[in-house]
Amino acid sequence: MKKILILNFSFLIALMSLVGCGKKAEKPAEAPADENMYIDFTAVTPEGQELAVSELVGKSDYVLVDFWASWCGPCRRLIPVLKEIYASHSREHLQILSCSVDQDEQMWRDALEEEQMPWPQMREDEKHVCSEHYQVQYIPFTVLIDREGHIVALNPDESELEEILFSE
Contact 85, 161 (CB under 8 A): yes
Closest CA to 147 of 63, 84, 66, 81: 63
Amino acid at 59: K
Identify whether 129 is part of a domain: yes
Confidence grade of residue 9 (pLDDT, cut at 50, 70, 90): very low
Domain range enclosing 28: 21-165
Integer Cα distance of 128 and 132 in angstroms: 9
Identify whether 2 is part of a domain: no
Domain count for the chain: 1
What does the pLDDT read at residue 153? 95
Q: 65 Cβ partners below 8 Å, 6+ apart?
A: 53, 96, 97, 98, 99, 134, 142, 143, 144, 145
Identify whether 6 is part of a domain: no
What does the pLDDT read at residue 159? 92
What does the pLDDT read at residue 86? 96
Contact 63, 86 (CB under 8 A): no
Task: State the CATH number of the domain containing residue 98.
Answer: 3.40.30.10
Contact 71, 13 (CB under 8 A): no
Identify whether 33 is part of a domain: yes
Identify whether 15 is part of a domain: no
The helix (H) or strand (E) run that includes residue 76 is helix 73-87
Task: Count CB neighbours of 129 within 10 A.
Answer: 17
What does the pLDDT read at residue 168? 64
Tell me what the mean pLDDT of segment 64-68 comes to. 97
Identify whether 141 is part of a domain: yes
Identify whether 8 is part of a domain: no
Note the pLDDT tens digit of each residue in 22-55. 543 333 344 445 679 999 999 999 999 999 999 9
Identify whether 5 is part of a domain: no
Tell me what the mean pLDDT of segment 57-65 comes to. 97
Note the pLDDT tens digit of each residue in 74-129. 999 999 999 999 999 999 999 999 999 999 999 999 999 999 999 999 998 877 68
Query: Residue 168 class from Cβ within 10 Å (0-12 exposed, 13-18 middle, 19+ buried)?
Result: exposed
Amino acid at 12: L
Note the pLDDT tens digit of each residue in 137-160. 999 999 999 999 999 999 999 999
What does the pLDDT read at residue 143? 96
